[in-house]
Amino acid sequence: MCKKIHVFLFLSLLTIVSCNDSSEVFNIGEEFTNNDSKITYVDTITVQASTILIDSFTTSNYNKVFFGYNNDPILGKTYAESYVAFEHDGSLPDIDTRSSFDSLVIFMKQNGDYLGDSTIFKEFSVYRVTEDIEYNDDASAFYNIDSFAREDVPLATKQFIPRPLRNDSIIVKLPNELGNQWYDWIETNTDSLIDTKDEFLDYFKGVVFVPNTKNENWSTSFNGFNSSSTNLQIELRLYYSKHDEEENTYFSFTPRENYIFSHFSIDRSGTVSSVLDTEG
């Protein structure tokens, strides 16, 4: 019995010795680091921030036609129109005298870029540019502030329902008088103003796509169309029929590389953003 009591006392003592005060702090790894290190919060930097307006930016490096109109209560009225200069590859087709002219059109395929309601009719006009589309002095691109003179009367006006996600194509028919003139020049090669690339650019300087803002459906809407050598979605096509073929064929005038750009004009009057400073 006495032996059992001794064993019990020994175990109890061992338990008491193994317990420790939880208030004690154990420093682990103090041989590797300085235990007196501290973290101090110091605020001596004042950040000054402001919001400014970008005065100009390039719009010709994307090879996109982008036009539309947006009326925003904060940002104001944003209006976008697109310029395109066309050219041919330097070699006009050899047209048989038994062939006949059909039509001159602008073929456009949407690239999926859009803003606003894409399920309702929109209207835009195509104007002929009367001024050489060239870079400003010391510039190598076109900017959002660049614009060029155009005729007062449009070559054509088109209504369409965007449906951008379907990649639908749009056909804009140009005046037959213009198309017939081009066809005659190509067929007869007489007194032609479009034989070479330079002659064509001098004669037909380009077009500008202009949204009809009187159409309320443009209230918040932009639409985009791509054009590049690898993804051609805009062409000026001269259709004609050959005497021995049922289907019409066409000759393409393609956009001049990097001579496609959008012009933006913005009216911020009466909005909170009208007080913002312009960059620079």
| Per-residue pLDDT reduced to its tens digit, 20-30 | 555 555 555 55
Residues 6+ apart with CB under 8 A from 55: 145, 278, 279, 280
Domain boundaries in the chain?
54-278
pLDDT reading at 12 higher than 60? no
How far is Cα 236 from Cα 42, in angstroms, rounded to an integer?
A: 65
Number of Cβ atoms within 10 Å of the Cβ of 182: 23
Number of Cβ atoms within 10 Å of the Cβ of 141: 14
pLDDT reading at 9 higher than 50? no
Least confident stretch, 50-59, 65-74, 85-94, 154-163: 50-59
The enclosing H or E element of 200 equals helix 197-203
Token pair 């003179």: residue: 149
Q: Which of 138, 108, 101, 127 is nearest to 250 (CA)?
A: 101
- pLDDT averaged over the chain? 80
Q: Determine whether 178 is exposed, middle or buried from the number of CB atoms within 10 Å of its CB (0-12, 13-18, 19+).
A: middle
CB-CB contact of 55 with 146 (8 Å): no
Q: pLDDT band at residue 229, thresholds of 50, 70 and 90?
A: very low
How confident is the model over 40-62, as a mean pLDDT?
A: 77
Phi, then psi, of 250 in degrees rounded to 5 = -145, 160
Q: Which of 107, 117, 81 is nearest to 213 (CA)?
A: 81
pLDDT reading at 235 higher than 60? yes
